[in-house]
Amino acid sequence: MSPNSLDEQFEAARAGNRRVLGRLLTMVERQDDNAVVVSERAHRDAGQARVIGVTGAPGSGKSTITGHLAAVSGADQPAILAIDPSSPLTGGAILGDRIRMDNNVSSNTFIRSMATRGHAGGLAVAVPDAVRVLDAAGYDPIIVETVGVGQVEVTIAAAADTTVVVVTPGWGDAVQANKAGLLEVADIFVVNKADRPDARGARRDLELMLDLGHRDDWRAPIVLTTATEGEGIDDLWAEVERHTSYLHDSGELARRRCRRRRSEVADRIELGLRDRAHRLIEAHSGEFALDRVERHELSPAAAAQQLLASLIPDNHPED
Amino acid sequence: MSETSGHSPRSADDPEPLRVVLAKLGFDGHDRGLKVVARTLRDAGMEVIYLGLRQTTESIIAACEQEDADVIGLSMHNAGHLTLAPRMVQAVDTAGLDVPVVIGGIVPAEDVNVLIEAGVAAVLGPGASAEEVVAAVKAAVTRQSAAR
Ligand code: B12
Ligand SMILES: Nc1nc2c(ncn2[C@@H]2O[C@H](COP(=O)(O)OP(=O)(O)O)[C@@H](O)[C@H]2O)c(=O)[nH]1
Ligand SMILES: [Mg+2]
């Protein structure tokens, strides 16, 4: 009944065992020793699913849209990964995205809520792993919802094949501030809450922005939705599919995925190094180099250089 | 290693946050208490998966499995607790889940033991302090993992 080997667990997850899949996701979420093995196993089968990122300001309607999107996709087994910030003070979180999805999604949709848990940069590796596990379990599409305010969250949402950026009428300053960042990642813009005044104004602003400079051969379309009524979601899905075709036809899909995996490896190296740097400091505190920093004989920069040399003997082979 | 990676029952001193599914079962619009409890548990460092109003035992079980929850918290104000709470406990058993069910809201004193007998881990009522709410949830998880 309870599958033991990893192969059996993935088999069970593929066969629709939600509990086993839930546990596998917990393992990668924790990024403990098990996570490496799970990720490894998942990677063998992953790469089939379309990954769609949905990002935008809190309250813009991402969850409502995401729930509808999973439904209109017509897929047998869609999955949703909904990411919300942990409280920096207590580490706790209220993950309330399911409320906005429950009424729309069918029972074959797998929804997982994830808190950012504040481990520095950890999310950048936990999320791709979670997507990988869902992918290997046969879910497709996989829709990742993140709050797109900070650079980190935007980056995570952008780690998708297709990134949907949600704005609302009068989206104003918060988004304006990160305009360049959003423009860069958006494959599709949604102006949600089109039932409110000035949705057309918001669309016009976006058009002007796009006129100033859009990327390569894909200009992000702008879709108006009223997610609470399910209006415009069919149009949105049609644009997602159009973008999927573009990705395939242009070869951009392979390039994107390649770039994504490279940056994931880089993120992991960075995390690992940071971890080792902390351990190095722990191990050497009170020792020679750090002691001399205390006595103002050695600068922090020079001490770092010395310690780093012991970590990575020859750190600039090319120089 | 891959042989054991499947089921790591949670121990009480696990540093990762507890994951709690909070819901109202059936037609009962009193969600003020549940919202208070959600904030209380978040402030105690837990991850609250908030399902809100009009849930069914099935939707709660599904959420529990997908979210790999450690506890189910129900809030009941419509005098349906004697049927609904044991039904939830039963559903958890049937699904083969190893998750305690904690209850709050309006439960007359004489019903508390009936619910405990039926397998409910704890019952809290109006005026329960934040400390009591947090302690009840933690104790439920601790007892469950000790019973494994
Ligand atoms: C506010 C209120 C309402 C509001 C609800 C607003 C809302 N969105 O929540 C409104 C006006 C809508 C309302 C309507 C009704 N109400 Co009313 N309502 C109340 C009232 C006055 C307070 C409830 C409350 O919010 N308390 C504050 C919160 C913070 O406390 P709490 O819910 O008890 O939660 C605490 C603990 O119980 C515990 N807890 C609660 N849940 C959980 C969950 C977990 C996991 C844990 C660990 C702890 C926990 O921790 C919380 C913090 O201490 C109570 C009376 C009372 N004194 O409780 C009646 C009461 C609950 N209502 C009652 C009734 C009958 C109704 C109506 C049927 C009235 C009618 N005839 O129209 C309707 C039904 C509406 C519906 N669709 O279900 C009765 C229920 C009787 C019963 N169960 O036997 C009560 C008890 C009043 C009474 N004395 O008759 N109500
Ligand atoms: N008026 C209006 N409200 C909406 C619309 N879409 C979502 N909402 C509401 O906006 C709030 C936030 O929605 P939610 O999907 O949770 O947003 P998220 O925080 O971006 O995930 C909820 O109260 C929704 O009911 C819409 O198209 N029109
Ligand atoms: Mg949301």
The ipTM estimated for the assembled molecules is: 0.92
3-class secondary structure, A163: strand
Report whether residue B37 contacts ligand 1, using a CB cutoff of 6 Å.
yes
Report whether residue A195 contacts ligand 2, using a CB cutoff of 6 Å.
yes
CB contact under 8 A, B48 and A93: yes
d(CA B114, CA B119): 9
- pLDDT given at position A151: 63
- pLDDT given at position A118: 72
- CA nearest A148: which of A138, A140, A158? A158
User: Cα distance from A26 to chain B (closest Cα, Å)?
Assistant: 7
Query: With contacts defined as CB-CB under 8 Å, which chain A residues touch B49?
Result: 95, 98, 113
- pLDDT given at position B147: 83
CB-CB contact of B118 with B88 (8 Å): no
- pLDDT given at position B2: 36
Q: Which domains does chain B have, with CATH numbers?
A: 19-147 (3.40.50.280)
3-class secondary structure, A244: helix
Token digits for A249? 């036809």
Report whether residue B33 contacts ligand 1, using a CB cutoff of 6 Å.
yes
CB contact under 8 A, A18 and B65: yes
Cβ-based neighbours of A200, under 8 Å, separated by 6 or more: A224
- pLDDT given at position A318: 55
CB-CB contact of A19 with B97 (8 Å): yes
- pLDDT given at position B11: 62
- pLDDT given at position B7: 42
CB-CB contact of A162 with A244 (8 Å): yes
Q: Which CATH number fits domain A47-248: 2.40.50.140, 3.40.50.170, 3.40.50.720, 3.40.50.300?
A: 3.40.50.300
User: Cα distance from B96 to chain A (closest Cα, Å)?
Assistant: 9
* Neighbour order of strands in the sheet with A188-191: A110-115, A79-84, A142-147, A51-56, A162-167, A188-191, A222-224
Q: For chain B, which ranges sit under pLDDT 50? A: 1-8
- In chain A, domain spans: 47-248
* Centroid of ligand 3 to alpha carbon of A61 (angstroms): 7
- CA nearest A187: which of A208, A169, A205, A210? A210
Q: Report the residue of chain A nearest B48, measured CA to CA.
A: A94
- The CA–CA distances, whole Å, from B134 to A182, A271, B39, B68 equal 40, 33, 11, 19
User: Cα distance from A309 to chain B (closest Cα, Å)?
Assistant: 33
Q: For every one of its 319 residues, what pLDDT tens digit does chain A have, with 9 covering 90 and above?
A: 456 799 999 999 999 999 999 999 999 999 888 899 999 999 999 999 999 999 888 899 999 999 999 999 999 999 999 999 899 899 999 999 999 997 767 788 999 999 988 765 667 789 999 999 999 999 999 999 988 766 666 676 667 999 999 989 976 655 565 566 777 788 999 999 999 988 988 898 888 888 877 666 899 999 999 999 999 999 999 999 999 999 999 999 999 999 999 988 998 888 888 888 888 877 776 567 778 888 898 898 988 888 888 777 654 555 4
- pLDDT given at position A80: 97
